[in-house]
Structure 1
Amino acid sequence: MSLLSSIINNPTGLKPHQPLIILQSSSAQTCYPILRNLISNFRPTTQTLLFCFLHSPSNLTNVDEAPNIIAFDFTGRIPGYDDPWCGPQDEILARINSVPPGSLNVIIDSMDTLSSDLGSTPKAYKFIRTLLGLVAARSEPSILALHLQPSPLLELLTQTSLSSTLMHLTAHPPAIITHIASAYLTHPPPAGPAEKFWSVFIPFSERAHESERLVYGPEGNGTSAGVWVSKGTREFVVEVLIRGGSKRGVERTVEGWKGDVPCDLQALDSLKSIWTRRKMEEARPDPTQNVSFNLNLTPSQEKSRAQVPLPYAHEGGVPFLYASRHFNLDFRQPCYNSWGDSV
């Protein structure tokens, strides 16, 4: 089973337990299909509290068919329009404290909206720290799942000072993988070396404008960010990061999402072109094979070549200075043109 499937199907079953799950969207790709699938796979015996600030509860789950899920709709509460304005902190804390001992799942569908309602990033971070403390202190494995987009708050929530363990799921448009394979000749593992792929993928994906250009630019289709695209056509890439898991370090992988379930990257129709191109490159004959002479150097030849001094590596760093010293050229002598004038 893939890492993403393990998280979706049994998030509390990972050893050691990971109480904090961050689901990250961007303007180029939504992560909501993963959030919906995660909620639908929660165990019926586990109490789940869903706090909605951006989408109505009906867009995330069918509450009528899930008696273990209690949804709270805060989408109609807007600071400056409600008089008097009452922040959601006390109500959320009261709802969590009212749940009997045992396993508990707490979901917030938009930390960006909640942070805006609270008035500042430090207040939002302090509130999340309190929520995580309540969740982690329960007698049974419990989860705090937060959805948000890249922001100063995201940088704080991923720090080890908040939680030494972390499950971080980030949705990316498939165009990133296609572009990196074409422009940088770099394929995701296992098709290519993991070190090379992540050294290119991570800094590229962190530049939000690059993803937006690939999706909404002249060559993009502009559909990757649609939140409720039909299940049959919905495809995107998921970057999975687990910190403090079974390997006691940081485990990172990239997987696919097709329809409404996780899948292998090679199952995505939008990425078929890069696998076809790679097979053609692997099948291309090596021009150095079947020749009548050896083009490779022996170890002693490699060593001798490495010891040859290069002109620009000598003291002074100027090629013509090297030439003057080794070929007895005196550049101080006057030079004359074809008319006999000194130049």
Structure 2
Amino acid sequence: MPSLLSSAIAHPARNQHLLLLQSTTAQTCIPVLREVVKQSIERARETAVLLCLLYPPSSFVGEEARARSDRVVVVDRTTYVPGYSDDFKSGSDLLASLRHAILEPAKSGPPGPLSIAIDSVDTLLSDLNSISETTQLLSELLSIVRARGGTSRLILHALAPSPILPILSQTRFSPTLTHLIAHPTALLTHLASAYLTPPPPLSPPEKFWGVFIPISERHYESEKLVFGSGGEGSGLQEFVVEVLVRGGGDATGRRRGVERELEGWSSSLNGPCELRELDSLKTLWSKKPVVEAQNAPDPTQNLSFNLNLTPEQARSRAQVPLPYAHEGKPPAQTATPAAILYDPDSADDLDDDDPDEDLDI
């Protein structure tokens, strides 16, 4: 059975029409996005529309793949900088231009599943300079993807912290969601050493997620671990992916529960893997030799006296009444009312006279 991460990349569910990939300053999610776009292009009868706003198209798809397939539409706007480009547009003109660049290939493309990937929604928000217009455009794209059905989906890449990220992850925007969040491996080693909470199954899932989620949401913690004095810097070779799937399961997309897992990503292993397979985390799974209880020496052996009880002695000890003062009685019937007993000292002034009578007020 494939893992959640492998399914999100290569085998999307038919009702999961929104895939949200989240990067941070400490760890990028671009390798996962590259693999998602690659799998979308390689799937038969699927049209892939790629809008590049941050990274060039060569970061996701090669020229051979674009020339080989007529179902790959690439919109390159990486050279467009508001206020500096010759074709500068603002406000409604820019929104109309983006609609034409994305919606027209999506609407006029051949029938079949449709994948629309945008890198990144933060750059899109910066160009439009309006959260409402950005959300409206993304909502229109999501409606087109849902109308295609099947494995069609809208793939969005965001850089946290982002003002639009909380909107995209709400159930109001999409009741179903697959959310992939990249974390540096240093975060797990920090939790294991500082909080004695390694990832499951080395620690209970409830305990781990209770510690991991609040710390991972404080992005400066990861940045300090990666770029601090003892950090090793961010890399693309190995990292951890938090996979959150909401509303998956049946054909109607109605599922109240949320699945959450941690999986590894290794370039040397060609993508998804288990956490124990990451070289930077293998120390967490190194086990010290443990002596079995049955092989351990009995400390009560070779003594000049006997520490064990015979069955008759154990029964006799069990029949000894315990010296409880209120055994078998409720405390309210035996306890005396609470009271404060005070013996005045010779220096105490307990008269009822006014202590301030000598003041001329």
Is TM (by shorter chain) over 0.5?
Answer: yes
User: Which one of 279, 287, 290 corresponds to residue 283 of structure 1?
Assistant: 290
Which of these two proteins has the greater Rg computed from alpha carbons?
2
Find the counterpart in structure 1 of residue 45 from structure 2: 45
Matches within 5 A, 1:210-221: 210-221=221-232
Aligned ranges 1:173-322 → 2 under 5 Å = 173-224=184-235, 229=236, 234-246=237-249, 248=255, 249-259=257-267, 260-276=270-286, 279-280=287-288, 283=290
Q: Could you tell me which residue of structure 1 aligns to residue 331 of structure 2?
A: none
The alpha-carbon distance between structure 1 residues 96 and 191, as it changes in their structure 2 partners (threshold 3 A), is same
What is the CA distance between 1:60 and its match in structure 2?
1.1
Structure 1 residue 331: Cα displacement: 8.3
1:172 aligns with 2:183: yes
Query: Is contact 1:51–1:107 with CA below 8 Å preserved after alignment?
Result: yes
Shift in Å, 1:124: 1.1
**In structure 1, distance between residues paired with 2:233 and 2:292:** 38
Q: Could you state the TM-score of these two structures normalised by the residue count of structure 2?
A: 0.74
Task: Specify the alignment match of 2:6 in structure 1.
Answer: 5
Alignment deviations for residues 186-227 of structure 1 (CA, whole Å, 9 cap, x no partner):
121222111111111010000010000000011101133xxx
Residue among 164, 172, 175 paired with 1:153: 164
In structure 1, the residue matched to 2:335 is none
1:105 counterpart (101, 112, 115): 115
**What is residue 310 of structure 1 aligned with on the other side?**
none
1:63·1:69 contact (CA, 8 Å) conserved in 2?
Answer: no
| Contact 1:63/1:71 (8 A) holds in 2 | no
Contact 2:73 2:105 in 1 (8 A): no
Compute the TM-score of the two structures, normalised by the length of structure 1: 0.78
- The 1:117/1:177 distance shift into structure 2, 3 A limit, reads same
Q: CA distance change for structure 1 residues 185 and 93 in 2, over 3 Å: closer, same or farther? A: same
Q: Which residue of 2 aligns with 1:54?
A: 54
1:142-171 CA-to-partner distances (Å, cap 9, x unmatched) read 110000112110000000001110000000
Structure-2 separation of matches of 1:284 and 1:215 = 37
Q: Deviations over 1:113-141 (max 9, x none)?
A: 11100112222111111110111112443
Identity of aligned pairs, percent?
Answer: 46
Letter of the 2:266 counterpart? K
Superposition deviation, residue 69 in structure 1: 2.1
The list of structure 1 runs, each at least 4 consecutive aligned residues, that deviate by more than 4 angstroms after superposition, is 289-294, 328-334
Alignment-derived partner of residue 29 in structure 1: 27
Count of aligned positions:
293
Question: Please, which runs of 5 or more residues in structure 2 have no aligned partner?
Answer: 301-306, 309-317, 328-337, 348-361
